[in-house]
Amino acid sequence: MSSNDLDGRVIAIAGIGGGLGPLVAKELADAGAAVAGTDRNQELLDALPEQLGIPAERYDGRAVDLLDEEATRGWCAALVERFGRVDGLIHLVGGWRGGEPLHEASLADWDFLHGLLVRTVQHTTRAFHDQLVRSGSHGRFVLVSAKQAQAPTNTNAAYASAKAAAEAWTLAFADGFEPGGATANIVVVEAILTPRMREESPDQDFPTFTPAEDIAAAIAFLCSDAAAKMNGQRLPLTMGR
C-alpha cells in the first residue's frame, strides 16, 4: 500500500495493545491515516507513537472500558472532538478460554468470552455507527475473527460460539449500510503469528498460523478505496483446511 492511500482518514483501533495491534497501527499510519487506539494499559498506549514512529499529531491513545457502553460512546465523542471525524474502526479485542469438552467446561468461560468478544463488538459498532455513515464511501469497520466460528470443535465451544456471534453481529452491521457507503467486513484467521512468537521460538514452524504482518496488510486493504465494493464479506487468511 502506498504512503498516502489513507491520507486524511482517522481510524480507531479497539485492542491496539495486543500482539496484532501495533502492527496494524503502523500499517495504517504508514498509509497516511491518523490512528486512535484504546486498550486497558495507558502506559502502553502512551509509548506506542514513539515505538512505532507515528507523529504525535496523528495519534491518540486512551484507556477505555469497552464493556461500558457509555464509556465507549465517550471514546468516540473524544476522538471526534480532537480530529473532527472518525472514518474507520478496527476491532482487535481478543482472548481465549477452552480446551475442555463442552459438557465439562465451566459456563463462566462463556460469560467471560461473551463480554470480551461479543459485547465489545456491540458497544463499538453502536458508538461509531453514525461516524462511519457520515464518512460515506470511506467508512470502514473490520473485525478480526477466527476459523473456529465456522468450524467449532467440542473442546472450543464457548470461544467458537462467541466468535460466531461477533461475526453475525458484524454481518448485520454491514447490512445496515447503504450501497456505495460505509462497509463492514471480517478478516478470518486460524491463529496469529506475532513477531514476539518468532523471537521466542525461532526454530519452530507455525504452518497454520497467519503472520500478523499479513493480517495488518489485509486490514489496510479493507480500509482503502480499493475495497469500497466489499461489504459483509469474510476474507479468509487461512490454509483452507
Q: Which residues contact 43 (CB under 8 A, 6 or more apart)?
A: none
Calpha distance 218→156 (Å, rounded) = 26
The DSSP symbol for 178 reads P
211 in Cβ contact with 196 (< 8 Å): no
10-236: CATH, from 3.10.20.30, 3.40.50.720, 3.40.1800.10, 2.30.30.100: 3.40.50.720
Q: What is the pLDDT of residues 156-201, one digit of tens each?
A: 999 999 999 999 999 999 999 999 999 999 999 988 777 776 776 7
In the chain, where are the structural domains located? 10-236
pLDDT at 211: 87
Residue 238 — very low, low, confident or very high, per pLDDT cuts 50/70/90? Answer: confident
Which residues, at least 6 apart from 170, have a Cβ–Cβ distance to it below 8 Å? Answer: 121, 125, 141, 143, 145, 184, 185, 186
Q: Can you give the pTM of this predicted structure?
A: 0.94
